Amino acid sequence: MFSLVGSVAELIVFVLGAIGLPGLFALTTVESFGVPPLPSEVILPFAGYLVAEGTFSFYGALGVAVLGGLVGAYAAYAVGRWGRHRIERIAIGSLRLEPRHLETMDRFFARHGEATVAIARLVPVVRSYISYPAGTSRMHPVRFGVYTTAGLVPFAAAFLYLGVVLRSHWSLIESLFRWFDYAALAGIVLAGIYLYLVLTERLVPGWPPRRNRPARAP
């Protein structure tokens, strides 16, 4: 069966094997930017495999991965921050982002932005796109960088170490590709449903999701 993640993995393996650390920097930058989507769950373990083979040093690969992730995150942050005035023009049929939606997001990031950014960097798929709303809500750029790094370091270290442990058993991760496909598809579907329910005012923005209960007329 065709595997989206498995097909992308072939490209990742080729880039890392042919270019080395500059390739790792490029891949993690693109992955953190989120366009096109690249799975860090494949990039980092294979980089760890190359660490085990003596091609990279562990801390060298970790530093490059974190730096690439930070550069991509700031690029996405910039798109969100300087594209804010254009976001209000986005409409899909009757669904439209309005100023009050952005104001709600601003309040959420003002209260929970730091924790949201750090935790989101530990969650596959979500970690590649959290920078956009952080930039749109004008989160302080220095705090954004600090909490982004706080999430990038443990995530990158864990998956690099996974690649080191797998080493000669690298083929074991191939069996996980289909589950990554399912997880990515489920995440996209759930995010789409959540956005639809928020824009149609059936849910209140925030976490956990809550039904929007209109105020009763006096």
pLDDT at 44 over 60: yes
The answer as to whether 93 is a domain residue is yes
Count how many domains the chain has.
1
The answer as to whether 51 is a domain residue is yes
- pLDDT tens for each residue of 77-122: 999 888 877 766 665 555 566 677 677 778 888 888 888 899 988 8
pLDDT at 172: 64
The answer as to whether 95 is a domain residue is yes
List the alpha helices (DSSP H) in 39-140: 40-52, 58-82, 84-87, 99-120, 131-136
The answer as to whether 210 is a domain residue is no
The answer as to whether 214 is a domain residue is no
The answer as to whether 40 is a domain residue is yes
The answer as to whether 212 is a domain residue is no
pTM (predicted TM-score): 0.74
The answer as to whether 192 is a domain residue is yes
Range of the domain at 137: 4-204
